[in-house]
Amino acid sequence: MKIPVVVIWGPKGQPTWPHPYLDCEASGKEFVTKLASAFPDVEFVMELAKTDADGERILKKYPEVSGFVVYLATHRSWGLDTLAQAGARLVLVDQMYAGSGGLLCFGAAARNRGDKVIAVGSSNFEDVTRAVNVLVALGKMAESKILVYRDGDLSDYARLLKEGWGTSLVGSTAAELNAAYDKVADESAQELANRWIAEAEAVVEPTEEDIFKAAKLYFAMSAEMERYGADAVTIDCLTYIYGQKLTAYPCLGFMELNSTGSIGVCEADLSSTMSFLFLKHLIGRPGYVSDPVIDEGANQIIYAHCVATIKPYGPSGLQVPYTIRSHAEDDKGASVQSFLPLGQMVTTLEISVEHKGITVHTGKSVANVVEPKACRTKLACEVNTERILENWNIAPGFGWHRVTCYGDLRREVKYLAKLQGYRLVEEDK
């Protein structure tokens, strides 16, 4: 991936802010070196902007990048109007005491116009990397592909997805998935099923045959993802199961995918799949899609679903305890009840491509609820329930599902909304 760094230049040896001796080109090169060290998989290319005409030159030179990092080595804003008004994503970074005027004044003008611009002024380089990381994640989104199993025409969504994010969408059928299922070696499926059973705290309702079928479906999904070159898979599982188009629930297979750095998402939910993709590319952690339940008496939201990650900090992180359960809504098949870490900050979001909106709220995990009603995994978090109730779906297009990830990522989600030109709803504000 290539990301240009536009260094705003000012002449050396002339009276200017912050002093006449500043070497903008040298400080720009130093900044690019620090970025390259922080993101070794990204190629950062420096471009000097010395006049407004450089904006058009840079646009033509880099027509397909995810965006530009702008290093304000001085307080001018050469070419930035051209870049911003062309719809380019810009991450403005102040060289403190040198570019501060440009950061504040151009940043305000861009914000008032609704340009895809975010601004960082900080002596802590980690603040810079947090902002640039969102741009990097967007670049990875543009290289990603989603495989969806759902009946019906997805062409309109696929077009919006490609135009707005660069992400590709490919649709398939239950028949194709079943054909892949039939090709899975029983020995491989049995080995995985045995491991799931051995690692589980308990197996409650499912039979060994249920778990074996779930393992076969995992290998089928993996094979189809490889065949299509997909980074994520989502299946209209409830429709397919109730319509007898699938022989097993994909819940345990999704658990395995999400534990190994891939992505499996329930119910052909493309908004949640996009949220999963962003989280993977941002911090390498899986999401947890849920049907939230509000408890005002405890000031908690309970995230409930029959699929949950067992490695909330990523493939190389902690594996949490889990039990193997039936799917709660029909008491059939095999799903997972995960017991997730407590006392931790979590971020919950949902991305709506059709409505160009993003929701976010944060909370603290406080309990793994064991209750027979609703889905198997139920993570309770302390949140501002009053505000969430008032703000839930205040903008259209989000539905019931939300995606939760460990870590405080509110700032990154706000950056994402600005860089995408999306409406942001902070549900707990």
- Are residues 159 and 290 part of one domain? yes
Q: What pLDDT, in 10s, does the model give residues 120-137? A: 999 999 999 999 999 999
Contact yes or no for 233/265 (Cβ under 8 A) = yes
Cα–Cα–Cα angle for 305, 308, 312, nearest 5°?
140
Please tell me the predicted confidence (pLDDT) of residue 147.
98
- Are residues 298 and 187 part of one domain? yes
Please tell me the predicted confidence (pLDDT) of residue 53.
96
Domain of residue 255, CATH code:
3.20.14
Distances (CA, A) of 270 to 352, 354, 375: 8, 10, 20
Residue range 9-15: mean pLDDT, rounded: 88
> Residue 276 pLDDT more than 90?
yes
Residue range 307-324: mean pLDDT, rounded: 97
- Give the separation between CA 142 and CA 147, rounded to whole angstroms: 15
> Residue 17 pLDDT more than 90?
no
Q: In this structure, what token pair is assigned to residue 294? A: 């509000």
- Are residues 12 and 160 part of one domain? no
Distances (CA, A) of 140 to 136, 272, 280, 418: 6, 17, 10, 17
Please tell me the predicted confidence (pLDDT) of residue 16.
83
E-assigned strands of 41-157? 43-49, 68-72, 90-94, 117-120, 145-149
Task: Name the pairing type of β-strands 2-8 and 68-72.
Answer: parallel
Q: What is the mean pLDDT of the chain?
A: 97
SS3 87: coil
Q: In this structure, what token pair is assigned to residue 191? A: 């080995």
> Residue 12 pLDDT more than 90?
no
- Are residues 234 and 261 part of one domain? yes
* Domain-ending residue, one of 141, 171, 186: 141
- If one counts every other C-beta atom within 10 angstroms of the C-beta of residue 41, the result is 8
> Residue 397 pLDDT more than 90?
no
- Are residues 151 and 27 part of one domain? no
Distances (CA, A) of 257 to 124, 179, 264, 315, 401: 36, 20, 6, 10, 20
Q: In this structure, what token pair is assigned to residue 392? A: 């839930």
- Are residues 172 and 129 part of one domain? no
Return the percentage of the chain with pLDDT > 90, whole number: 97
- If one counts every other C-beta atom within 10 angstroms of the C-beta of residue 319, the result is 14
Q: Note the Cα 253 to chain centre separation in Å.
A: 20
Domain membership of residue 105 as a residue range: 2-141
Q: In this structure, what token pair is assigned to residue 331? A: 């008491």
Q: How confident is the model at residue 40 (pLDDT cuts 50, 70, 90)?
A: very high
> Residue 14 pLDDT more than 90?
no
- Are residues 118 and 223 part of one domain? no
> Residue 319 pLDDT more than 90?
yes
Residue range 311-336: mean pLDDT, rounded: 97
Closest CA to 266 of 292, 302, 290, 241: 290
Closest CA to 172 of 210, 242, 229, 243: 229
- Are residues 358 and 244 part of one domain? yes
Q: What pLDDT, in 10s, does the model give residues 331-371? A: 999 999 999 999 999 999 999 999 999 999 999 999 999 99
Contact yes or no for 349/274 (Cβ under 8 A) = no
**Dihedral of the CA atoms 193, 373, 307, 363 (nearest 10)?**
-140
Closest CA to 73 of 4, 5, 8: 8
Q: In this structure, what token pair is assigned to residue 258? A: 């999400």
Residue range 153-171: mean pLDDT, rounded: 97
Please tell me the predicted confidence (pLDDT) of residue 409.
98
- The number of folded domains in the chain is 2
- Are residues 149 and 111 part of one domain? no
* pTM (predicted TM-score): 0.96
| Residue 268 DSSP symbol | G
- Are residues 322 and 261 part of one domain? yes
- Are residues 133 and 109 part of one domain? yes
Please tell me the predicted confidence (pLDDT) of residue 70.
98
* Domain-ending residue, one of 141, 160, 182: 141
Please tell me the predicted confidence (pLDDT) of residue 42.
98
Q: What pLDDT, in 10s, does the model give residues 181-218? A: 999 999 999 999 999 999 999 999 999 999 999 999 99
- Give the separation between CA 274 and CA 142, rounded to whole angstroms: 11
Buried b (16+ CB within 10 A) or exposed e, 87-103: ebbbbbbbbeebbbbbb
Closest CA to 17 of 70, 72, 55: 72
Return the percentage of the chain with pLDDT > 70, whole number: 100
Closest CA to 361 of 340, 339, 392: 392
- Are residues 379 and 242 part of one domain? yes
SS3 380: strand
Domain of residue 64, CATH code:
3.40.50.2300
Which residues, 6+ apart, have CB-to-CB distance to 46 below 8 Å? 4, 5, 7, 28, 29, 32
- Give the separation between CA 411 and CA 164, rounded to whole angstroms: 21
E-assigned strands of 213-356? 232-235, 263-265, 288-295, 300-305, 322-327, 332-338, 345-352
SS3 84: helix
* Domain-ending residue, one of 111, 141, 171: 141
